[in-house]
Every structure is written in structure tokens, then in C-alpha cells.
């Protein structure tokens, strides 16, 4: 997809991977909308921040209504927002569990269902979901996070099969550790990291592939 003049939405735009993806999409000439609770500090005429708590369905409805009213379509959705923690299962409060699932999984579903109608009408579009290597194999202490990211992989694969006949591409990118604020609250510290700008370049390079190519899943780790 040539991103020039296309409308892109990035969830979790205020920091880390999402912020890097926003900047890479602006570089690729897209019109970019970022959704997050904290301000997304990007000053560019083609960037629009919409304060959104993605755990609230009504806030998602409002954000996408505004985007669709203004642009008439969404060509690219990057479902990136999320967080994780690693802890013994009995130490996880049920409200923390629900909060994680609402943020990492349900928000992805709610945002996706907002963009699919315009993508189907245009018979084009792409949805990139940010999973994790924690969505491919279980990790000690990761019952909640891994469950959410395994679900992201299942959601993505099913969505890919559902939408490909409409000319819509769905990809799930599963990174290993990336140097972001994720680890401020995760309760673990990895030894090696990817850089968010490098991951953003990878994500945008998938989007820029010819429309006839469907990269459905990519796992990427620090060397
Ligand atoms: N860092 C890693 O090693 C790593 C590895 C694999 C996968 N991932 C995944 O990558 C994604 C991005 O994480 P990151 O590493 O870039 O961490 P980050 O710097 O902490 O960024 C997380 C982003 O998600 C947003 N977010 C969280 N809860 C939200 C909510 N309720 N409503 C709206 N936005 C919300 C945050 O925005 P606000 O706080 O402003 O709302 C922030 O922009 C996550 O899905 C994470 O699971 C990260």
C-alpha cells in the first residue's frame, strides 16, 4: 500500500512502539490519527491526537466517529496499545486481569469493528496487530499477559481469513523485548532489546508491500 495521503490510525500513540509507528507513518506521507490517554507529543500538520481510554467502548465510538466524519475512510489500523505484568497467578487481582484483557484484547476487537465497514466498501485496507513473543509461548509469571497475546494471535489469524476475500490484509507482529516504558511496570527486565524505531520501520515496511502480498504473521527478536 502506498501510504501517501492514506488515513492511518494508531492506538497507544503516546509512547514506545506506537509513537515510533506514528512518526514512521508521517514520514511515509500518511494522515495519522493517534489514540491514547496521555498526550501524544507529535507536532505535525498530518498528525491528529484523539484522547481515548481504549477500555471505554464509548470513547472508542467517539474517536472513530470523528475520524470517519473527517476522512470518510480508514486505510490502516495499527492496534498497538497494551501493557503487561508478570506475577504469580494467585497474586493477580481479578480487576487487574480484566483491565489487561480490556486493554490488550477487547480494545483491539472494538477498534477493528469500527474500520472494517469502510475497508470492505473500498475493497482495500490493512490492519496490523501488535502481539508479542509472549503470544507464541507461555512464560513463567505471564498467565495474564500471555493469555491476552495468545488471544491477539488467534483473533488476528481468524480476522486474516475473514477479510482477505475483501482485499483487506491483516498482519500480527510478535516482537521480543523492545526498549520502551513497558518494562517500567512489567516486573521483569530483559537483557536485550529491539529499538522502537526499528520495529516501526519493520511494521511500515509490511504495510508498504504490494497489495497482493499478505504477510500474516511475523515474529522478531533482538539478536
Ligand atoms: N516493549 C516490549 O518489549 C514489547 C514486546 C512485545 C510486545 N509489546 C507490545 O507493544 C505494545 C506497545 O507497548 P510499548 O512497549 O510501546 O509500551 P509503552 O511505551 O508503555 O506504550 C503503551 C501504549 O499503550 C497505550 N495504552 C495503554 N493503555 C491504554 C488505554 N487504556 N487507552 C489508550 N491507550 C492505552 C499507552 O498510552 P497511554 O498510557 O497514554 O494511554 C501507550 O501509548 C503493547 O501492546 C505491548 O504489549 C511490547
User: What pLDDT, in 10s, does the model give residues 29-68?
Assistant: 999 999 999 999 999 999 999 999 999 999 999 999 999 9
Contact criterion met (CB below 8 Å) for 160 and 205? no
Examine residue 184 and state whether it is found in any structural domain, yes or no. Answer: yes
Examine residue 11 and state whether it is found in any structural domain, yes or no. Answer: yes
116 CA to centre of ligand 1 in angstroms:
23
pLDDT for res 187: 84
pLDDT for res 188: 85
Structural domain for 83, as ranges: 7-220
Average pLDDT over residues 113-140: 98
CA distance linking residue 203 with residue 190, whole number of Å = 22
> Could you give the number of structural domains in the chain?
1
pLDDT in tens, 155-179: 999 999 999 999 999 999 999 999 9
Pocket test for ligand 1, best of 182, 196, 217 (most atoms within 8 A of CB): 182
Of 11, 23, 153, 27, the C-alpha closest to 76 is 11
Contact criterion met (CB below 8 Å) for 74 and 68? yes
User: Taking 90 as the threshold, does the pLDDT of residue 213 lie above it?
Assistant: yes
Q: How open is the CA angle 62-168-8, to the nearest 5 degrees?
A: 45
Examine residue 133 and state whether it is found in any structural domain, yes or no. Answer: yes
Instruction: Specify the CATH number for the domain of residue 142.
Output: 3.40.50.720
165 CA to centre of ligand 1 in angstroms:
31
Pocket test for ligand 1, best of 9, 16, 24, 32 (most atoms within 8 A of CB): 16
Amino acid at each position: 500500500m502506498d501510504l501517501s495521503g492514506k488515513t492511518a490510525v494508531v492506538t497507544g500513540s503516546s509512547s514506545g512502539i506506537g509513537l515510533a509507528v506514528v512518526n514512521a507513518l508521517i514520514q511515509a506521507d500518511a494522515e495519522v490519527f493517534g489514540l491514547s490517554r496521555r498526550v501524544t507529543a507529535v507536532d505535525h500538520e498530518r498528525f491528529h491526537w484523539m484522547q481515548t481510554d481504549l477500555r471505554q467502548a464509548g470513547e472508542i465510538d467517539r474517536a472513530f466517529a470523528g475520524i470517519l466524519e473527517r476522512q470518510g475512510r480508514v486505510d490502516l489500523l495499527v492496534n498497538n496499545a497494551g501493557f503487561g505484568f508478570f506475577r504469580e497467578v494467585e497474586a493477580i487481582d481479578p480487576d487487574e486481569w480484566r483491565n489487561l484483557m480490556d486493554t490488550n484484547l477487547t480494545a483491539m476487537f472494538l477498534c477493528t469493528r469500527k474500520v472494517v465497514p469502510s475497508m470492505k466498501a473500498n475493497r482495500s485496507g490493512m490492519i496490523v496487530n501488535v502481539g508479542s513473543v509472549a503470544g507464541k509461548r507461555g512464560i513463567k509469571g505471564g498467565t495474564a499477559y500471555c493469555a491476552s497475546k495468545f488471544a491477539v494471535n488467534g483473533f488476528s489469524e481468524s480476522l486474516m481469513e475473514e477479510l482477505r476475500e475483501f482485499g483487506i490484509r491483516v498482519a500480527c507482529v510478535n516482537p521480543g523485548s523492545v526498549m520502551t516504558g513497558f518494562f517500567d511496570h512489567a516486573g521483569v527486565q530483559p537483557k536485550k532489546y529491539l529499538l522502537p524505531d526499528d520495529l516501526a520501520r519493520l511494521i511500515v515496511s509490511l504495510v508498504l508491500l504490494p497489495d497482493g502480498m499478505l504477510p500474516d504473521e511475523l515474529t522478531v527478536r533482538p539478536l
